[in-house]
Amino acid sequence: MSHSDKIEKPGYHIRPKYDLHGMRRRRTDDHKGHVAAELPLTAMIDMFSILVIYLLMNFSATGDAFFMSKPGIVLPAAGNAKELMTAPLISFSKGVYYLDVQDPIVKLEDNTENLSQIIYALKQLETQIKAKRPKDFDGRINLQADENTPLLYIKRAMSAATSAGWSSINFVVDNGSKRKD
C-alpha cells in the first residue's frame, strides 16, 4: 500500500476565509502544549527597574521640581539660602502671574493689575485649611520670579499675598549648589 492509498480520518473541513492559525485546535483541545500565553517577565522586570531608578533620581523632598515648573524663569542667585518648605507658589513669568497649590491642586493664571483672582483663591484656600486643620495655617507662601523681573511686579505679588492673609513670604532662589561652573 502506497502513501496515496492510505485512508485518513476526515476532519473539520469547512473553514471561514479568515481563520486564526490553530484556533480551532485550541478550542477543541486537540493540540499539544498549553493554552495560557507566557508573560514576558524579563521585559517587565527591566521596565520596572528603569521606572524605579527614574523615580529615585528625580525625587526631591524639598519640592525643587515644583518650584522649577515655569519655563523662562532664571532664579536669582543667593549667597545665603535655606531650604523652602512646600507652600502655595506665586510665580511671575512673561507678564502673567500664576498661583500653584499642591493640596488641593489649584493652577490659576492672573494678568490683572490688582491680582484679584489670586487674592480670591488664596482667601478660599486659607478658609479651607482652617476648616480642616486650624493649627496648620501658618500663612507661608513662596514667590518665584525671574532674576530680571522689575521690582514693581514682585511688590504686586507680595501685596496680593499679604492682603489675602498670607504674610510669611519666602523667595525662591538658586543657592548655587546645582550650578556647574
At residue 95, the pLDDT reads: 81
- Using alpha carbons only, how large is the chain's radius of gyration in Å? 32
Residue-wise pLDDT for 109-149, tens only, equals 877 778 888 888 888 888 888 888 878 788 899 888 888 88
Contact between residue 106 and residue 125 where contact means Cβ atoms under 8 Å apart: yes
**Shortest CA distance to 90 belongs to which of 166, 12, 14?**
166
Is the peptide bond preceding residue 71 cis, with omega within 30 degrees of 0?
no
Secondary structure element (H or E) that encloses residue 92, with its range: strand 89-93
For CA atoms 79, 85, 87, 89, give the dihedral sign. positive
Question: How distant, in Å, are the alpha carbons of 21, 36, 59, 119, 133 from that of 172?
Answer: 63, 56, 19, 20, 26
Averaged pLDDT for residues 92-113 = 78
Q: Quote the pTM value.
A: 0.57
Domain 64-171: CATH class, spelled out: alpha beta
